[in-house]
Amino acid sequence: MAGAKTRRQAAAEKEEQEAAAQLLNGNGAAAAAPVARRNDGNTDEEEDDDDEEAAENIFLFYPNLIGYSRIVLAIASLYYMPIHPRTCSALYTVSCLLDALDGYAARAYNQSTRFGAVLDMVTDRCSTSCLLVFLASAFPRWAIVFQLLISLDLASHYMHMYASLALGGSDNSHKNVDKSRSMILNLYYTNKTVLFATCALNEACFLGIYLLSFSSPLLSPSLLQQVPASAAAAIHQGAQVNSSLLSMIFPNPYSAGALELARANKMDSFWPWVLAGVSFPVMALKQIINVVQLVKASRWLAEGDVRARRDARRAAKAKAL
């Protein structure tokens, strides 16, 4: 009887334990399942979060997709630059305007990334540099001015970005400029209206100068080759010209047909002069900001070097003692 009673007591205790497990877990069968999932140190919910993060593709974020479209439009504008000023200006303008849209998309969808910030800056610098390269060729007497503008633009932004990352920390944005360091840079980078207006009018001035190369008889692009006398004679004699739909859509920018197309697309100089004249003061201001940015970044890097050298000397003295 004592042995049977012991077995009944053991069975009752087992039933009480199973009932308690059901109350705690809501399902007795589920009690052992989390243990198996926790063998790798993560719960099932944490594993789902890890899978979501692993599947996230930065390159396909909406702001970055807008950035890729800017690159395509910029390349298309460069193709039409020597032959079709209206098409080039339209493509270049849309590419520049999308620069503001990607920022709104990044904030709206919480997709701000360092890759996107660098992509945006690199696209801006390359587009402006390519336009200035054309202007240097279209206006050879002013080539050194456009070359200096390219150098100043690239140098100032590179040094500012490098100083921000090296001394401000890897998580610091190049747009985080304290007022104590520079009032003008703080206003330029933190006020979105000022930033957009300055950059837009800076590009508008260069576009106005570009359009002048197609509007004034004294200012003509020098990239287009003159038609050789032999080729001109053959054309006058009725030589057959091989053409295709592809060549009509994408003409050779150095061909005789492209030269005639460029001449046919000449425009009145009034609006290009207005565009260049109105935006010129802001363009000049943008160059001043670039100079300030270059000087401030140089000083910031020098201050960091002074601190690093001082710390190194102190460490060497402490080690010697």
Is 48 known to be catalytic? no
Candidates 69, 321, 297, 283; CA nearest to 167 is 297
The residues that bridge with 216 in the sheet, in sequence order, are 219
Residue 165 Cα to chain centre, angstroms: 16
Contact call for residues 291 and 152 (beta carbons, < 8 A): yes
Burial of 298 (0-12, 13-18, 19+ CB in 10 A): middle
Task: Select which of 124, 153, 178, 311 is catalytic.
Answer: 124
Candidates 121, 120, 150; CA nearest to 135 is 150
Which residues have CB under 8 Å from 186's CB, separation 6+?
177, 178, 179
Backbone angles phi, psi at 238, to 5 degrees: 90, 30
Answer positive or negative: Cα dihedral of 183, 185, 188, 191.
negative
Report CA dihedral (202, 206, 207, 213) to the nearest 10 degrees. Answer: 160
CA distances for 318 relative to 290, 304, 305, 307, 321, angstroms: 42, 21, 20, 16, 5
Q: Which amino acid is at 60?
A: L
Catalytic amino acids?
Answer: 124
